[in-house]
Amino acid sequence: MNNETPMLMPIKATPYEHQKNAFAFTCDKFGVFTDNIKSRGIALLMEMGTGKTIVSIAVAGCMYRQRKIDRVLVVAPLSILGVWQEEFEKFADFTYSLTVLKGSSAKKKEQLKKLPDKGLQVVVVNYESSWRLEKELFAYNADLIIADEAHKLKENRTSQSKGMHTLGDHARYRMLLTGTVITNREMDVFSQYRFLNSQIFGLSFYAFRNKYFDMGGYGQHTPIFRKWMTEDFLKRMHSVAFRVTKAECLDLPAITEEIRTVNLEEDAAKFYESIEEESYAELDETEITTANVLTRLLRLSQITGGFLTDDNGNINAVSTAKLDALSDILDSAMAEDKKIVVMARFVPELDAIQDLLEKKRISYAVVRGGIKNRDDEIHRFQYDDKCRVFLGQIAAAGLGITLTAASTMVFFSMDYSMSNFEQAKARIHRAGQKENCHYIYLVCRDTVDRKVIRALRNKVNLAKALVDDYRKGRNPFKS
């Protein structure tokens, strides 16, 4: 592949060097410019924050322009479907039509029957639906299937893995996106590569297991990897994989930011809209002050986080949208063996996140109101390899602590204070940090979340901006 090939990336952005290299690697293996197909399946083993989605969009667009493909199927965790829609809108520099399959199975089947056919046809669906719609997706006949966060396929015998194997067998090209295919054990590789390229490790799980593992433990049921097979195993695995870590991306800026848009459930969205209209109406009945505006804004922010406290002090759960999105982010971080910091504002959110971590059996440290052994929690996160997550309440954990054991921070919800926001971000981006920092903001679509994050990032006085909106006749709570 000549040196000019990376310049053909059809994206509306200047790619980083590692993204150019990933694009060139994939195009070379797929024979995009030479017709010499070396593999019909390629793995992009790129850590969070390195841009594997952008590379995939560029590859798909280039293959479409080269008349290699007409239809793409993207399969991803539910919380990431919106990311693909937004990334295509932001970066795709070619003609395409994208459909995110939503609603009931019946509605998704109807969507598949009425797909727009302008440019490259792209269908985006979540893993759970992919096997339930196997017949319909088989009929869609995608030329390229992209499996995002593909560690979701690590269990060989699940319905979604089997469904993806079947779909992959009939696609001309396949891409697998994940930070690493080996999550906890070498056994995880088989199912992912069975989808990707069955020539690498074969079609039979038992043949794979018998080649690379001895059976030990009680009852001889525990597979133990044969260390002397490591070279052969890795050689095969990396023959069709492009691997990059954040630490290797020397041209990445010190800070990268990602707004991950989350869709409230239908009932939660209707409830939010009713409270939003009520809040706007209430402003007409009172003096317009920053305090009045922020009081009502607070109530809307609580809803996007999944909870609302009523007039009697009772906490009501109204949505799990953000919690589900966080769950997928945690899965990715654990798969990449990375520590991660999660920041949240409200007590019910913190309680729910702790419950989620307990359920996933992820060891974590926490600093929030009422925690007395704060220094012990911080030390454990920094120096205990088993402690994978730091959970902080923005007001309590935003000052004077160092959390450089992680380079990724997720804001589950936002404090309205610009100072608190900047201080919280600085917990990972400070002396001692060896990697570029990546910030993920969970933002519910069509809610005040977007207004809040925009104000904080642009260093705008949020309260003043809301009052100004109202005085100009606009609903200050509309995103």
Domain residues of the chain, as ranges?
5-248, 255-262+318-471
CATH topology assigned to domain 255-262+318-471: Rossmann fold (3.40.50)
Report pLDDT digits (tens) over 398-455.
677 889 999 999 999 998 888 888 888 888 888 788 888 999 999 999 999 999 999 8
- Dihedral pair phi/psi, residue 354, rounded to 5°: -60, -40
**Letter string b/e over residues 172-206, b meaning 16 or more CB atoms within 10 A of that residue's CB:** bbbbbbbbbbbbeebbbbbbbbbbbbbebbeeeee
- Nearby residues of 47 by Cβ (< 8 Å), 6 or more positions away: 179, 244, 245, 246, 336, 338
Amino acid at 12: K
Give dist(CA 211, CA 396) in Å, integer.
52
pLDDT band, very low/low/confident/very high, at 3 (cuts 50, 70, 90): very low
The answer to whether 394 touches 345, Cβ cutoff 8 Å, is yes
Q: Give the architecture (CATH level 2) of 5-248.
A: 3-Layer(aba) Sandwich (3.40)
Give dist(CA 327, CA 321) in Å, integer.
10
Give dist(CA 289, CA 363) in Å, integer.
44
Greatest mean pLDDT among 23-32, 156-165, 307-316: 23-32
Report pLDDT digits (tens) over 226-274.
889 889 988 998 999 999 888 787 777 788 899 999 999 999 999 999 9
Give dist(CA 424, CA 395) in Å, integer.
9
Residue 464 scores a pLDDT above 90 = no
Look at the block and give the residue holding tokens 């079609």: 203
pLDDT of 1: 42
Which region holds residue 8: left if phi is over 0, alpha if psi is between -120 and 50, else beta?
alpha
Which region holds residue 193: left if phi is over 0, alpha if psi is between -120 and 50, else beta?
alpha
Strand partners, 392: 343, 367
pLDDT of 215: 84
Q: In 2-157, where do the E strands start and end?
A: 41-46, 71-76, 96-100, 120-126, 144-148
pLDDT of 184: 57
- Nearby residues of 281 by Cβ (< 8 Å), 6 or more positions away: none
The answer to whether 385 touches 365, Cβ cutoff 8 Å, is no
Pull the structure tokens for residue 425: 């971000």
Greatest mean pLDDT among 130-134, 144-148, 149-153, 313-317: 144-148
Give dist(CA 190, CA 170) in Å, integer.
18
The answer to whether 214 touches 222, Cβ cutoff 8 Å, is no
pLDDT of 2: 43
Residue whose C-alpha is closest to residue 375's, from 362, 363, 365, 384? 365
Report pLDDT digits (tens) over 136-171.
999 999 999 999 988 888 888 888 888 899 999 999
Give dist(CA 331, CA 352) in Å, integer.
16
5-248 matches 255-262+318-471 in fold: yes
Instruction: Output Rg (C-alpha) for the chain, integer angstroms.
Output: 24
Q: Which helix (H) or strand (E) holds 293?
A: helix 290-304
Lowest mean pLDDT among 4-13, 161-170, 322-331, 361-370: 4-13
**Letter string b/e over residues 227-253, b meaning 16 or more CB atoms within 10 A of that residue's CB:** eeeeeebeebbeebbbbbbbeebeebe
Once rounded to an integer, what is the mean pLDDT over residues 329-346?
A: 92
Amino acid at 48: M
DSSP summary character for residue 127:
H
- Dihedral pair phi/psi, residue 341, rounded to 5°: -110, 135
